[in-house]
Structure 1
Amino acid sequence: MMNKILFLAITALFFVSCSNDDDGQAEYVPAAFEKGILVTNEGPFGNGSGNITFISEDYSTVTQNIYRTVNGTELGNVVQSMGFQDDNAYIVVNNSNKIMIANRYSFEAVDSIKTGINNPRYFMGADGSRGYITNWGDPNDNADDFVAVVDLRNNTVSSTIPVSFGPERIVSYNNKIYVAHHGGFGQNNLISIISGNTLEGTITVGDAPNSMGVSGNSLFVLCGGNPSYTGNETAGSLVEINLSNNQVLNTYTFGNTDHPSSLTMDGSNLFYSLNGKVYKLNMGSITLPGNDIVNGFFYALEAKDGLLYVTDADDFASRGSLKIYDLSTNQQIQDFQTGIVPGGIYFNE
């Protein structure tokens, strides 16, 4: 009996010692992050570190700053985005010019990529041996942007593909990747098509494409349009591309001063943000702007399995939040605190 009591006491001490004192929330348990929601928090721009928040699948546990909790080190500034390939999470740390690699289920550090990249933005794993990273290079130089090809067997950059300025988000279809060129500090209007190590061509879309999604053999591209401060304001647009031939099928144009963002999809519906509202569109019958279903100025959107996940960055200096809405009623059902500037929502399954 005494041995059992001693064992329990030691076990309790271990879990207390592993708790995240700074955030006062859940303890770190190995492989505790395999089912749930991950939120990348950019952190303060130019100083400090970004981090990652984990929310368990049943919503019972919220753990802040899981990479630091597990590894004892910060990720760096700014945590721009994250991508998965097999068991690994590739965490893009923009200002620090590196990709930190961790086991996606335990968040134990695995490796890092610090050479062959310059101002990285987004990562996508293409298959078990190859991944892609979009890079701005010098954001004031429109001629040095590229997509880095990563050998995932040793986590090194094997080649770089020069592309037009401002490459950002990536989607894949039929062994090709499609890169949206938002334009860096400016505005662009292209989608690059890459196969293997080769730039196959580009597709011209609306100004400032900011988000994409694939449904069937259609690629939907949401373009924000040039903002008013450029002195050359243009309307936002939604562009549908036929991926069988990479031709533009339809272009739907918003009002002259409307600048939509954060396209996501669930089933046959598209969702996006515009002017403090989330709108819903049916892919089979698109009429802009669609139906407004939720009010709020949100920083990121993801729709999945009848739920809408949104982040609120608040004042971009304090902790933000992740809110969840039931799309059958359009009512909020959950609200969780995150880190500073929650910019990405990911699902660990």
Structure 2
Amino acid sequence: MRGVPEQDVQAPWASTTAPLRRESSEDDSRPAWTPTAPVRLPEVDGPDVSGAVRVPRPGGAPETAARSAGPVGPDPAFSWSAPTAPGAAPRATRPVIRFARPEGYRDLPRPRRSRTVAAAACVVLGLGLIGGAVTGSWLVGDTADAGERGAYATAGGLWHNVPVDQLFPPTVDGQGAGPGGADRTWTRIAVAPDGGCADAFDPLLLKTLAPVGCTRLLRATYTDATQSYVTTVGLLFTKADAAGMRALDARFAKEALAARTDLIPRPYAAEDTVAAAFGDQQRASWTISVLTDAPVVVYAVSGWADGRTVATPQPAAQATASGATTSPAQGGLGHEAKGLADRIERALRRTAVSPSEQPS
């Protein structure tokens, strides 16, 4: 270049490519400086006026090096993989980083408080539902007593809501109902007109049944397959509620009224049938059952079809007992009365549950 000595001209890349080192001389007694640890650059406000970066020297005097053409990379001394100085504790020069709590941390709901609030809400909701259910049951009368009254009302109306063939089937199958578990089959031969109770019971039995009243009395007479026996079965529909029927049943059990020979139901003797001669003197065995789940008294009375008289009638419970030797017991008349009454009672219960269901 013109006006500048040639020896003073330096290549523009000399300052960026020359290594940073201290030239030693023979007259210099100080040893050559070789860094043993990463050099941390001092914090500076910015580059000096010459555009160079200050690099500390061993004696503390800065040495200026020209800025490289490219951007300055991160200081390797701050790397996690940078070696530690000899004798220093491991990772003594590693940066320690702590993260602060996020904003609003103290305002976040605590889990324990949330669970407590949720549990309290569930309790309040549950109590509200229970209270609503109880209140609703009071308003609509949905109680056990109401259900019982409904069942009694349904059963009490069967005498005019259900066909006679459903209450008194034309044929009744009595498997195992005879003496020794023998099968029985009964065939209906007559159905009495429905009416009151005045002529159906002896005066003393009528008085005993008076507390429950008499709404309607239905009767039918059956005979066995051999036509040797005749049996009248009756359904007395009372006016009593559940408490009244329970009271009557308790009295029958306490006083053994079903075993008294002066409380025998009367038979229904239909003309022009094998039961035409079935009168009061022909009654041989009987049974009376007071239902507590329906306003009904079920009974049956049996006798011989040939019209023979019976001097000492015997209740079915005794005539079917093992070892019984009376005439009704030996003839199986106790099984006739009890077996037929039980099956008519079962049909009645099925019909009370589902009035449209035909009994089997």
Q: Calculate the TM-score normalised by the size of structure 2.
A: 0.24
Bigger Rg over Cα: 2
Higher helix fraction: Structure 1 or Structure 2?
A: 2
Q: Calculate the TM-score normalised by the size of structure 1.
A: 0.24
Higher strand fraction: Structure 1 or Structure 2?
A: 1
